[in-house]
A and B are shown apart, each in its own frame.
Chain A
Amino acid sequence: MEEREGDVRWDGLCSRDAAARAAALEHLGQAVLRRGGAAAAPRVLARLLLLAKRCPFRDVREKSEAILSGVQELGIRIPRPLGHGPSRFIPEKETIQVGNEDAMMHTLFAESFATLGRLDNVTLVMVFHPQYLESFLKTQHYLLQMDGPLPLHYRHYIGIMAAARHQCSYLVNLHVNDFLHVGGDPKWLNGLENAPQKLQNLGELNKMLAHRPWLITKEHIEQLLKTEENSWSLAELIHAVVLLTHYHSLASFTFGCGISPEIDCEGGHTFRPPSVSNYCICDMTNGYHGVDDIHASPTTTESVCEVEALMEKMKQLQECRDEEEASQEEMATRFEREKRESMFVCSSEDEESAPTRDVSRHFEDTSYGYKDFSRHGMHVPTFRAQDYSWEDHGYSLVNRLYPDVGQLLDEKFHIAYNLTYNTMAMHKDVDTSMLRRAIWNYIHCMFGIRYDDYDYGEINQLLDRSFKVYIKTVVCTPEKTTKRMYDSFWRQFEHSEKVHVNLLLVEARMQAELLYALRAITRYMT
């Protein structure tokens, strides 16, 4: 990380070598405090604050803290973090605190810090599931920084495009920084129309992938690949598609878990003294008011029953599955019904949040959003999972055109799908495979992907309405997720389990989008 701001240098802090870090810190401290803190611009201070709070290395945290107080002694106002930990939905005390992590988590943190130069809030929330996080970070690192057909600034720009589709200012801010860092042209950030034609061409695909992937046809692919000045190569297109789907689904995660803005980004810190106000703008726009926090823990007997009832149902399904055999038509109608019903499942709270101007300029055609698979006018045939599956077909195609990524994604899907601790709320030794499969298939069902060998009646049994509302919102219109939705499903479950659900949502969504895009590419190729 070579970055200069005035004469403040940040490189060396990410080193794993304690001595190198110490030297870098010493230098940093001198640079900031020299000349009466003249170099202590707000940006620099914000970054110091980030280091003080979110660095896996204790020495860096302490020294940054010391530098900040040194600055304060010089009479300069220093920032303080806004918000309450990495997630607005999860109380800070429930999350893993930096400094308290175990050895495996620390390795992951150090890894993340060394490669990204920061420990972002997404990582801090995902670390509930270190096994998955490892695979996630590895994949993301490969997509953004390792060998690949697209230049680095393109990759970040595509990330911005994808995140902006869901008005996810968190991801947009992060990647705007990274984009500039790798030498991207700041002009592009004024809107897609300022980016090269080649990226503009990708806009259409981005839009469809994010909201209605089933409409992607081989003609769209043809359009992008046809030989002309701004055409895409197949390998580039695969890279772009993987990036787009990755950031669409990551946006789902960001909203689904209520990730707070990074401390050093806009809205993550304030220079005002604490007494003035208790909430920040972005909390408001997301329909969350600090006050809700206080009475958001309903531990009623009613919700305890919820868990019991769910487990009872799972047991029943397990037992009677062999006896009662639904006819074929019955099975088909169950899928259709689930598909249709998913259409009516939508959030009752229609708090339209106006996207901050900053984000909206990155995407056009705001009106284009998720339309239910079963509602739109023309008939789109159901996608049969058996005819085009990730394991058999998608993997081979991706790995052929973008080596190693197929393997990485395969591992990630696999870990997410099979992750279990055999617990449900306070119960131990529960086989949750049925529940996980129901969630996974429900999401694919919303995208019109059908598994011949699945009885969609199970979904109805296992997922109650508030849960379906949450899933639907997070997957299809993540920007509308509210803390109330998060709190109202599975009230008795742990936060880590809710994060686990989010991981399933993220991966199932990513796979669904990928399957549609890859199928179109395969059709183009044959």
Chain B
Amino acid sequence: MPPAVPPGSEPASRRGVPASRPAMEKMSRSGAALGGAALSGRTMFCHLDAPANAISVCRDAAQVVVAGRNIFKIYGIEEEQFVEKLNLRVGRKPSLNFSCADVVWHQMDENLLATAATNGVVVTWNLGKPSRNKQDQLFTEHKRTVNKVCFHPTEVYMLLSGSQDGYMKCFDLRKKDSVSTFSGQSESVRDVQFSIRDYFTFAATFENGNVQLWDIRRPDRYERMFTAHNGPVFCCDWHPEDRGWLATGGRDKMVKVWDMNTTRAKEIYCVQTIASVARVKWRPECKHHIATCSMMVDHNIYVWDVRRPFIPSAMFEEHKDVTTGIVWRHLHDPYFLLSGSKDSTLYQHIFKDASQPIDRANPEGLCYSLYGDLAFAAKESLISSDSNRKPYIGDRRHPIFFKRKLDPTEQFEYISSSSALSVFETDVESGSMDWFVHTAKQYALAGRPLAELCDHNAKVAKGLDRNQVAQTWTMLRIIYSSLGTVSSANLNHSMGKGSAALPLMNSFNLKDIPSGLGSESRLDRSKGESRTENILLDSSSTLINNEDNEETEGSDVPADYLLGDVEADEDDLYMMDHENPHAEEQEYSLPQEAFPLRHEIVDNPSALDHLQDKADSPHVSGNEAETVSLTPVESFSLISISHSLYENRLPSDFFNPIVRDTLLFYAEQGDVQTAVSVLIVLGDRIRKEIDEQTQEHWYTSYIDLLQRFQLWNISNEVIKLSTCRAINCLNQASTTLHINCSNCKRPMSNRGWICDRCRQCASMCAVCHHVVKGLFVWCQGCSHGGHLQHIMKWLETSSHCPAGCGHLCEYT
């Protein structure tokens, strides 16, 4: 996908440079390669009478053969044009033998050609024949369409064919029949290619995605097989220089480069194209370049640098229909490419006329780090012009959250572009995400009564100086757990006191923060990152503090902080009043602080169900009356209210909107941790208030964060505790682990511990010789292993494998 051309006036000058450089290079390099007889020519084309299926060049690079269903011609390549040299489709009656799926010109003998016909016939042609009909031999052994023919690179008489019927046949042109037949034991063969350096080896690709390597002397069984693609592998090409490299292209739109030198074929490069890949051809003299064309939809020819798989290094856009055949004009010249197409044209492409998408691209990268740093990479030219215009440092017009630490820190030269990388870091203390990790580790989310959970979490938050969060937890406890216990009326007393203790402690801390700072930094809130966390807390509390001071002269200041602890919104302030009197009142009655957070508050979620029962209690109804009289009162002169006011009969549902807003507020701030934790702890109490999608969004964000901090256990716990179905199933996916039996190396099919093939226990501990039924650790070198503990212990004292195989195992 070609990126947009950058706006601006200069690009013309910039683009001029890379365009001219290859041209100069060409003169020098190709001159050397061809021994002075450099190819010359221009981009040109000629019309064919019919769509082409394949093309091939003569070794002298002066002639090209074009074959298709209705065409079979040889063209001479001249300086300015293609000249038709010979039409090989002779005879009165059209024969399917002329309907070619593939054509190949021998690289040793310039008179020898071979074609693969769609009806399954392999034909050889001898241009040296005096008669008009140059057809030489006819092999009719394949039962289905022959997809590919290939001459041996050094042996004159050896021809290989691959067919739809799943067979490959090797022909000796001096004999009438094939000399050997190779059965792929699978579906159609799509391509066959002799290795360029290995005399006896050839590769075959199959419709089911496999690639097989064969030894020409051993027709009974392939040497090697591996699955290269998902779906048919349409083509392959051996690297002309590097003997171990094989490129394959498939219907799955991938081009893959395999290193075959190792015992297992290793994928070393992978290029993702935009359409199924019909042909691949390594570019001569350029180790990492490869030309591809596609089978459908996309008509262009691309030349890729496999090390840079995201953008083609060159592109030829001349064809109007799919390109069916590509071939480099000369074995040692990387600048001339010939192509045939379904649009009935034959093209010669010159590299200097290729469009180079890289010149039109504005390579830019932007990435956030875990710690809130921002890295930005762009072309140097863009950066410099940009920073001239608007320097970041000190620009306070925009609420910029990051401090710029290093501007162009790193430069690297790549092809024709140099770019600059900038990293914007947050300042040290606020950038630290330690609080996140600590909080995640210490929060308790389940397994205890709600009140305890809230208290615990409040403590954790407070321990990390996150007072606002701590307050939130405390409030939640007050809202939800105390109501639940009301049914047992005698608890009122102690509970009320207990719950008040925490807010008190918290509120004192807040006081020390100078208010000026807080309100200033409020701007940052929208950025919602780590640093703002504390400051925002301050700002909102101080703001409220100021207001409150005016309103509530004489009342204790710390108490007022309670107002601000949940929300910064003034709207909510009013709502909070219902709780606040309670806390305030507690201060009066409980200066002694003799009531620790205790277990009397027996809370469980089901306690909420008792709400209905409360109406029966006369004591409760009295409270209700009080509440009614109180709620409209805005002032804070509530000193006279007995602490049982707190047990007003407002159902906890009443506070749900506030709690919901609280969570939304935290999430908006970027503190999705608090939002999710509260969500989990409150469970059903609040779940219905927030729509599923938002919840899911929070969960995924939080889990993502946890995983980036490698807090796997916690993230799994969160997944487990979540009530969203979409989240819950996250840890249900791909939980299967396939293992092979350690004795017979076959896959273990049954569920037990015994391999059903060799009747042996499969995963024995090499130390204690018992079956391992938990964590199994094994050496990747010798594949022996056992109980994690045992192996650790063993390797502390010995460096050799406990199984006695002599391998020096390493445990890291």
Contacts and interface: CB of A to CB of B under 8 A. Distances in A.
Nearest to A526: B321
Interface string A323-356: 0010011011000000000000000000000000
Contacts of A332: 96
Contacts of A321: 143
Contacts of A325: 140
Nearest to B252: A399
B207 interface: yes
A384 interface: yes
B67 interface: no
A393 interface: yes
B119 A453 contact: yes
A452 B145 contact: yes
B44 interface: no
Interface stretch (B293-301, B432-440, B525-533, B726-734): B293-301
Given A396-B275, A453-B144, A526-B321, A384 B97 contact: no
B101 interface: yes
B232 A526 contact: no
Nearest to B141: A322
A522 B342 CA distance: 12
A387 B69 contact: yes
Contact of A331 (B69, B96, B276): B96
A525 interface: yes
Contact of B164 (A384, A395, A400, A453): A453
Given A331-B96, A391-B232, A452-B119, A396 B140 contact: no
Nearest to B275: A396
Contact residues of A: prevailing secondary structure:
helix
A400 B101 contact: no
A393 B97 CA distance: 23
A453 B296 contact: no
A400 B99 CA distance: 29
Contacts of A96: none
A208 B321 CA distance: 26
B95 interface: yes
A396 B295 contact: yes
A69 interface: no
Contacts of A522: 296-297
Contacts of B321: 526
A329 B120 contact: no
B251 interface: yes
A474 B254 CA distance: 41
A82 interface: no
A391 B118 CA distance: 16
Given A525-B297, A526-B322, A452 B95 contact: no
A321 B297 CA distance: 39
Contacts of B297: 396-397, 400, 522, 525
A392 B143 contact: no
Interface in A79-116: none
Contact of A453 (B118, B275, B342): B118
A223 interface: no
A177 interface: no
Nearest to B97: A328
A525 to B, nearest CB: 7
B264 interface: no
A453 B95 contact: no
Contacts of B342: 526
Contacts of B69: 384, 386-387
Contacts of B295: 392-393, 396
B118 A386 contact: yes
Interface in B135-157: 140, 142-145
B143 A453 contact: yes
A386 B68 CA distance: 11
Interface in B222-251: 231-232, 234, 251
Interface in A378-412: 384, 386-387, 391-393, 395-397, 400, 410
Q: Interface extent on A, as a size class?
A: 20 to 34
B598 interface: no
Contacts of B117: 452
Interface residues of B, number: 33
A325 B145 CA distance: 16
A395 B295 CA distance: 11
B207 A391 contact: yes
B648 to A, nearest CB: 38
Interface string B49-66: 000000000000000000
B205 to A, nearest CB: 13
A361 B698 CA distance: 51
B96 A393 contact: no
Given A393-B296, A395-B251, A453-B120, A328 B275 contact: no
Contacts of B95: 328
Contacts of B231: 395, 410
A60 to B, nearest CB: 24
Contacts of A397: 296-297
A386 B101 contact: yes
B293 to A, nearest CB: 13
B389 interface: no
B21 interface: no
B320 interface: yes
Interface in B512-571: none
Given A328-B93, A329-B93, A526-B320, A396 B296 contact: yes
Contacts of B343: 526
B403 to A, nearest CB: 44
A289 to B, nearest CB: 47
B251 to A, nearest CB: 6
A391 B276 CA distance: 11
A250 B342 CA distance: 35
Nearest to B321: A526
Contacts of B322: 526
Contacts of A391: 207, 232, 251
A522 B295 CA distance: 12
A439 to B, nearest CB: 17
A328 B99 CA distance: 11
Contacts of B296: 392-393, 396-397, 400, 522
A510 B93 CA distance: 34
Contacts of B320: 526
Contacts of B101: 386
A58 to B, nearest CB: 27
A525 B117 CA distance: 28
Contacts of A392: 232, 234, 251, 276, 295-296
Given A452-B145, A453-B164, A526 B299 contact: yes
B103 to A, nearest CB: 15
Nearest to B140: A325
A393 B342 CA distance: 13
B575 to A, nearest CB: 37
Interface string B260-300: 00000000000000011000000000000000000111010
Contacts of B140: 325
User: Of residues B145, B232, B343, which shows the largest number of chain A Cβ atoms within 10 Å of its Cβ?
Assistant: B145
Nearest to A384: B69
Nearest to B117: A452
A453 B99 CA distance: 11
A326 to B, nearest CB: 11
A386 B164 CA distance: 11
A332 B251 CA distance: 31
Contact of B276 (A396, A452, A526): A396
Given A386-B145, A397-B296, A526-B342, 4 more contacts: A331-B119, A395-B251, A453-B118, A526-B299
17 contacts: A321-B143, A328-B93, A328-B96, A329-B93, A331-B96, A331-B119, A332-B96, A386-B69, A386-B145, A391-B251, A392-B234, A393-B296, A400-B275, A453-B144, A522-B296, A526-B322, A526-B342
Which A-B residue pairs are the 4 nearest by beta carbons? A452-B118, A396-B296, A328-B95, A452-B119
Interface of A: 321, 325, 328-329, 331-332, 384, 386-387, 391-393, 395-397, 400, 410, 452-453, 522, 525-526
